[in-house]
Structure 1
């Protein structure tokens, strides 16, 4: 299948998903909620793909950035720390507020720069992965012990009275999924994208040719964290209660990782395709065989690794 044909199929798919939101009864259907979570995991998968698939730095800490974005949004939206009584008086003004969502991403990106500089300058491969995993646990403990500001072990409650329908969640999730894919496509065609690929393929050769490898890797790590933080912000608008056990769950790191690998690491559409396929498998197994759904999910991943080691997007290559 040619790249042009693939782009046309993707465009038609996005148009169909957007129009499906306005079908009678669609908002109240289970499929609507299912697709929202597919969009959310696809965003997280694309975030992981940026740093690991395109950058070659396997991170196990994206759940930390997801949680930071969620906490930032919940704290700002709860109304007592930065904006004062404005949130209390006009909570709907800040419902899906793009500034608040961007701040969630920026807080996560700033944390990624702070932790990425020492880790990426000293560690490689598995050691870097374990370092990011440890960072996630540190952030979780810090927020649990943050007192009234972070709500402790209970977390932060946002004003749930603003919820009327899942339609804005669906449309914002779809828009973010598509927007991240377009941004990554432009990024990987830029000079920075070429430098990132060069660092992934041969870091020593890239450095010998004048590329600041640390700067390139930290930028990818921060970009991935920003995307994950925005995804965490989106999740806050859905759940309204941000707690350490919900937003720092390792599933927010492991599932997007699996989805990206199954779809095709280092490809543009692989994380999105993997999110649709794997979340459908997970959800179907959870409904059909609730007692054994981890077994079904695990077998699916094993079979995918055995027969599709390079992902669904590279099937034609085999």
Structure 2
């Protein structure tokens, strides 16, 4: 079976990958939910209320459990299954190759310096207005955005060091590994093979990566982040680089909320987006562009050698 899959057309591989992702998610979710019922004392008849009530700490614990299940069942497990079926060695298909310390440092600085750039794109995205005839769609998008924001804020309420460490696991580590394995390790590769163009592969994977989050007023910055991670993966030849970049991006937000939620959250969210921080946007571009070029040149030379 593996031989036939490895030689299949990229479109067939894509459809098969989607099937594996869906199957893995369903199996993981069903098993995980059955385990959760006695642990969290969930009443199935009240499930809708539980999933929408973000003020109850017990509900938040259950939702965090589901979020963790999603990262494992929807991304991490299917990525390894797909890679195993497409290649004799999953680690080779997903490109778990070694990286230099310099690449680690470059990738970390690039992602940190990109914060004001990403935030300025976020403000631009939030100012988007649809035509009147799409007012219904716009209202639905705003409702989804508000719901996602409320859930995010509920997740980020951390009163103990233990809650901080769990959020780093749930928001920083698991999504960084899972989403990068699927979107960069699998989808980017398949779309590049299908279009016979790595740049199209990076762009399409980034669009899907952003769309998957279902946060429409953050679509543009998340897509650009996906493009950035895609090129870091392509140039380095190692999935560890986008995983690291994704981890830096997510964990930075978690740490900011933990240490500065009471007095600095809004300033950080708008870092690089307002007139008063315009200078940081310019500095971000000044730092990111040459670092990206340096990263490209160094890894091109390293991979050639």
Normalization by structure 1: what TM-score? 0.35
Which is helix-richer, 1 or 2? 2
Larger relative CO (CA 8 A, sep 6+): 1 or 2? 1
